[in-house]
A and B are shown apart, each in its own frame.
Chain A
Amino acid sequence: MKTRYTYGGDEHIYVEVDDEMSLDAFFIALSLSNLVRAANIPGVTEILPANASFEVRFDPDVIAPDAMMAKIKEFEHQAEAQEKRLDTRIIEIPVYYEDPWTHETLMRFRERHQDPTGSDLDYAARINGYDTVADFIEAHHSQPWFVSMVGFVSGLPFLYQLVEREKQLEVPKYLRPRTDTPKLTVGYGGCFSCIYSVRGAGGYQMFGITPMPIFDPEQKISYLKDFMVFFKPGDIVKWKPIDRAEYDRITQAVEDGSYTPRIAEVAFDLDAFNQDMTGFNAKLMEALNDA
């Protein structure tokens, strides 16, 4: 890993812990951003942790850009030495794969796609070496995922699958981003899955849709009353494939306030996970199934 520091204009410093994705890079970026936050450096206005990088926004009238960068660098070694462990939760998210709404949208933006002849799932299955879309969908939901970043728009989670690198699924983003994506689309770009929290622009391939809202500015949905954003970095997700009938049932339950997401408290320890991924995930699933 080679940490790279660069300016984003005169108000931002961007720190790329690694140019490739790994949970090691995620934990170092998170630790480093937490150390910068805890240092209460005058002039720092915002800290944004990301998958394998983070960004600091600062006021250059208070602290000079080069001084700001030097301050962040001071914490690099300490961040690398920190424990890679989190107390977190695992959440079951229902997904209706190959739904009619994302299909209508992907057909509308076909000329912006690498392969205009098929669907996003056809393309993703093929370039990842799966014989059928069904096999690819199975690979997408059979093992849990780790929220390694929240952002893009209103509380959108980026998720990284908890499997060996050779089992990771990877797809490019659209050649030119779409100007429209249905709300709650389950998307895919690079090695990341995501849930589009609101309707809008997007560059990720579209695989399906969840009936479970994850952002509510009015804070009326039962599980979003305390805060309008559902996800935070470190959350673990298990996709649960559902059909149209189940999708409609959950949508109705969310509306009448009777839907409660299935959630269990768990700990994530990167060393323990790396030693036995299958065993570690089995324990996560046990906790979820008991919830």
Chain B
Amino acid sequence: MTLEIIKPGLATTIQDLGRPGYFHLGIPEGGAMDRLAFRAANMLVGNDEGAAGLEAVFMGPEIKFGTEMSVAVTGAEMPMMLDGEPRETWTSFTVKPGQVLSFGFLKTGARIYIAVSGGIDTPPALGSRSTYPIGALGGFEGRAIAAGDVIPVGNGSVMAEGRVVPDALRRRPGSPAELRVLTGLYWHRLTEKSQKAFFDDDWVVAPEADRMGYRFRGGQPMEFVDRPQPFGAGSDPSNIVDGCYSYGSIQVPGGLEPIVLHRDAVSGGGYFTLGAVISADMDLIGQLQPNTPVKFKRVEMDEALAARKQRKTMIEDIRQALA
């Protein structure tokens, strides 16, 4: 059972729910950026929610199916055709051997998830099939897929066609996209004026936005509380003695452009961080296109935990809707 890649798209990678446990060596957890959409795609085709699938960004691949299987595409809105016939996203359908799935231009969102019954069956690396291209680890030969690749698929049973994730359970960023932030880490390094400006300013997603991190621009340069720099940090006021970074943490090199670290995060470094995007909003970042307007919203821990619970409930609701 195989998928044959006719056109790869822009940077299409095999992803699952990641490889926790190696971040202390600089190997990030990785996995699908929009985990809710990724899980939903697997549920639609009757897979375990962590089965490996494809993540395509901005542009869809063209895929020829080697055998009959169930397929579902979730995440961003992108028109999709099976042998030229339109198919709906967030809905399961069955493909016959030799049929070709192709995509039109991206409408909203940034990343689609393609799940096939049985899941992609490339050899796991450190317990996961997620592709970490920087470390040439996992996925298909440690890299994004390319034209001509033949990707193995595991054994799965073909599900009923037309299973649908209800619209209310498809989570999408608003406009402007609101990302909730818990301040902390090196927040005290900023002046009160810059602390306030970070949340008041209008930001947009910068072109340098990928699986490692999303960069933002448009806000005012940040000012730092005056201090003699601690030994070992470096002389720029945005420098710290290199420490660990966390998923979702927001660093601002030189006080200029905030970078939110994502699933393929670097595990540490020497720029100050002002806090972190809450875990519940990490999925949303995966659906932001460059130039999307963004507001950062300050929340407290209880709101972060409530949002986390709400997201879990939403995933459970998708399970129930498809049970």
**Provided the pairs A12-B246, A14-B243, A52-B243 are in contact, do residues A46 and B25 lie with their beta carbons within 8 angstroms?**
no
A189-B239 Cα distance, complex, nearest whole Å: 9
Interface string of A148-163 (1 = CB under 8 A from B): 0111111110101000
**Provided the pairs A51-B241, A151-B244, A176-B256 are in contact, do residues A9 and B236 lie with their beta carbons within 8 angstroms?**
no
Size class of the contact patch on chain A: 35 or more
Q: How far apart are B207's CB and chain A's nearest CB, in angstroms?
A: 11
Q: Is the CB of A172 within 8 A of B236?
A: yes
Tally of contact residues, B, Cβ under 8 A? 57
Q: Name the contact of B242 in the complex, choosing from A12, A51, A174 (C-beta under 8 A).
A: A51
Instruction: Tell me if A173 counts as interface (CB < 8 A to partner B).
Output: yes
Residues of B within 8 A of A200 (CB): 134
**Provided the pairs A8-B185, A154-B25 are in contact, do residues A173 and B253 lie with their beta carbons within 8 angstroms?**
yes
Nearest chain-B residue to A4 (Cβ)? Answer: B188
Q: Is the CB of B269 within 8 A of A9?
A: no
A19-B240 Cα distance, complex, nearest whole Å: 8
Q: Name the contact of B134 in the complex, choosing from A65, A171, A198 (C-beta under 8 A).
A: A198
Those of A160-205 within 8 Å (CB) of chain B = 160, 165, 168, 170-177, 179, 189-192, 197-201, 203-204
A45-B29 Cα distance, complex, nearest whole Å: 11
Instruction: Tell me if A16 counts as interface (CB < 8 A to partner B).
Output: yes
Q: Name the contact of B236 in the complex, choosing from A14, A168, A175, A197 (C-beta under 8 A).
A: A175
Nearest chain-A residue to B135 (Cβ)? Answer: A154
A200-B268 Cα distance, complex, nearest whole Å: 14
Instruction: Tell me if A53 counts as interface (CB < 8 A to partner B).
Output: yes
Residues of B within 8 A of A47 (CB): 24
Q: Name the contact of B208 in the complex, choosing from A22, A179, A204 (C-beta under 8 A).
A: A179
Q: Is the CB of A173 within 8 A of B268?
A: no
Q: How far apart are B44's CB and chain A's nearest CB, in angstroms?
A: 25
Q: Is the CB of B135 within 8 A of A7?
A: no
Q: Is the CB of B244 within 8 A of A14?
A: yes
Q: How far apart are B200's CB and chain A's nearest CB, in angstroms?
A: 21
Q: How far apart are A227's CB and chain B's nearest CB, in angstroms?
A: 9
Q: Is the CB of B235 within 8 A of A172?
A: yes
**Provided the pairs A9-B182, A51-B241, A153-B135 are in contact, do residues A20 and B247 lie with their beta carbons within 8 angstroms?**
no
Q: Name the contact of A152 in the complex, choosing from B21, B26, B137, B247 (C-beta under 8 A).
A: B26
Number of A-B residue pairs with CB-CB distance less than 8 Å in the complex they form: 214
Residues of B within 8 A of A197 (CB): 26
Instruction: Tell me if B279 counts as interface (CB < 8 A to partner A).
Output: yes
Residues of A within 8 A of B136 (CB): 198, 217-218
Instruction: Tell me if A54 counts as interface (CB < 8 A to partner B).
Output: yes
Q: Is the CB of B268 within 8 A of A50?
A: yes
Interface string of B224-261 (1 = CB under 8 A from A): 00000011111110011111101111000110110000
Q: How far apart are B237's CB and chain A's nearest CB, in angstroms?
A: 10
Q: How far apart are B233's CB and chain A's nearest CB, in angstroms?
A: 5
Instruction: Tell me if B278 counts as interface (CB < 8 A to partner A).
Output: yes
Interface string of B182-198 (1 = CB under 8 A from A): 10110100000000000
For B232, B273, B279, B305, which residue has the most chain A Cβ atoms within 10 angstroms? B232
A11-B282 Cα distance, complex, nearest whole Å: 12
Interface SS of chain A: helix, strand, loop or mixed? Answer: loop
Residues of B within 8 A of A215 (CB): 135
Residues of B within 8 A of A46 (CB): 20-21, 23-24
Q: Is the CB of A190 within 8 A of B20?
A: no
Residues of A within 8 A of B277 (CB): 9
Interface string of B285-310 (1 = CB under 8 A from A): 00000000000000001001100100
Instruction: Tell me if B8 counts as interface (CB < 8 A to partner A).
Output: no
Instruction: Tell me if B267 counts as interface (CB < 8 A to partner A).
Output: yes
Instruction: Tell me if A235 counts as interface (CB < 8 A to partner B).
Output: no
For B24, B182, B276, which residue has the most chain A Cβ atoms within 10 angstroms? B24
Q: Name the contact of B239 in the complex, choosing from A45, A150, A173, A201 (C-beta under 8 A).
A: A173
Instruction: Tell me if A10 counts as interface (CB < 8 A to partner B).
Output: yes
Instruction: Tell me if A48 counts as interface (CB < 8 A to partner B).
Output: yes
A10-B312 Cα distance, complex, nearest whole Å: 14
A66-B24 Cα distance, complex, nearest whole Å: 23
**Provided the pairs A14-B184, A50-B244, A154-B26 are in contact, do residues A189 and B276 lie with their beta carbons within 8 angstroms?**
no
Q: Is the CB of A8 within 8 A of B276?
A: yes
Residues of A within 8 A of B236 (CB): 172-173, 175
Interface string of B135-164 (1 = CB under 8 A from A): 111000010000000000000000000000
22 contacts between A and B (CB under 8 A): A7-B184, A8-B184, A8-B275, A9-B249, A9-B276, A14-B243, A50-B242, A51-B232, A151-B24, A151-B268, A152-B242, A152-B268, A152-B269, A153-B135, A160-B232, A171-B234, A173-B271, A176-B254, A189-B234, A190-B239, A191-B241, A218-B136
Which 6 residue pairs are nearest across A and B when measured between Cβ atoms? A21-B232, A9-B276, A8-B246, A20-B230, A55-B244, A12-B246
Residues of B bordering A, CB below 8 Å: 20-21, 23-27, 125, 134-137, 142, 182, 184-185, 187, 208, 212, 230-236, 239-244, 246-249, 253-254, 256-257, 266-271, 273, 275-279, 301, 304-305, 308, 312
- Since A21-B232, A198-B136, A201-B212 are in contact, a sample of 11 more A-B pairs with Cβ atoms closer than 8 Å, ordered by chain A residue number, is A8-B249, A9-B277, A21-B231, A22-B231, A51-B242, A52-B232, A150-B26, A154-B25, A155-B25, A173-B253, A215-B135
